[in-house]
Amino acid sequence: MFAEEIISNAIPPLKSDDTVQKALERMTEFKLKHMPLVNHAQFLGLIAEDDLLTLNANNQPLGQLSLTLLNAFVFSNAHIYDVIRLFSQLSLTSIPVLDQKKNYIGLISINNIVDFIAGQFAIDQPGGIIVLEISNRDNSLAHIAQIVEADNAQILSSNVNSFADSTRLEVTLKVNKTEITGLVASFERYNYSVLAVFNNTQTDDGSQERYDSFMNYLNV
């Protein structure tokens, strides 16, 4: 996925003749701490809310002030992972998107990124989660997928986390069923180390037994 595919057209950029007060109100409206300053498609830089709050010039146009503008942006064909990296490195709440001629075409807000991650990792879909620990020498996603499919399930998303100075890997699987007791047993049968299981409807943590005992007590 590329940056241009998740541009938000609902958030207009700031202009040089906008006042400080208008800029702060727009940041509040869209819950952003950074907004692009744009004149006739020319991107001038990112304005930070913290900088505006230090000014005693609410009625002054932005173009008449000496502002610190952050020259942070991505091109429209940037991969979404590069966009996420820039959000993280600079602690931004929005990133302007420019075309190849450096004309402003829109922005990506932090909410756009959250929505993308939710869709990418199937967070918004029901299913069980299994965290496996494996060696990087045994990293066979094909074999893992075979085990899941043999249990009449499908992998909705997967993520591999590596560790410095270690051959250990953590593989997190999201599958399309919540009754995953049999699937967990299958992984253990193939000598996979199951670190954690979430959303398993068949997990017995004793809560049902405690509930039944409490109801029996009330009925005495």
Q: Give the model's pLDDT for residue 219.
A: 55
Q: Give the model's pLDDT for residue 200.
A: 76
**Averaged pLDDT, 135-152:** 86
Q: pLDDT tens digits, residue range 17-74?
A: 999 999 999 999 999 999 999 999 999 999 999 999 998 888 999 999 988 899 999 9
Closest CA to 105 of 95, 117, 113, 120: 95
136, 167 contact by CB (below 8 A): yes
Question: What is the average pLDDT value for the chain, to the nearest integer?
Answer: 88
Q: pLDDT tens digits, residue range 78-95?
A: 999 999 999 999 999 999
pTM listed for this prediction: 0.70
Q: Give the model's pLDDT for residue 138.
A: 67
Question: Judging by DSSP bridges, how do beta strands 94-98 and 155-162 pair with one another?
Answer: unpaired
Q: Give the model's pLDDT for residue 89.
A: 95
Q: Give the model's pLDDT for residue 217.
A: 55
Closest CA to 105 of 12, 173, 29: 12
Q: Give the model's pLDDT for residue 117.
A: 82
Residue 143 parent element (H or E): helix 141-150
User: Which residues 6+ apart lie within 8 Å of 111 measured at CB?
Assistant: 8, 31
Q: Give the model's pLDDT for residue 92.
A: 96
Q: How confident is the model at residue 220 (pLDDT cuts 50, 70, 90)?
A: very low
Q: Give the model's pLDDT for residue 139.
A: 66
Cα–Cα distance for residue pair 197/181, rounded to 1 Å: 9
Q: Which domains does the chain have, with CATH numbers?
A: 3-118 (3.10.580.10), 128-198 (3.30.70.260)
**Averaged pLDDT, 194-216:** 66
Q: How confident is the model at residue 161 (pLDDT cuts 50, 70, 90)?
A: confident
Q: Give the model's pLDDT for residue 98.
A: 97
Q: Name which residue leads in pLDDT, 202 or 198.
A: 198
Q: Which residues pair with 43 in a beta bridge?
A: 38
Q: Is the dihedral of CA 88, 89, 94, 95 positive or negative?
A: negative
74, 97 contact by CB (below 8 A): yes
Q: Name which residue leads in pLDDT, 75 or 124.
A: 75
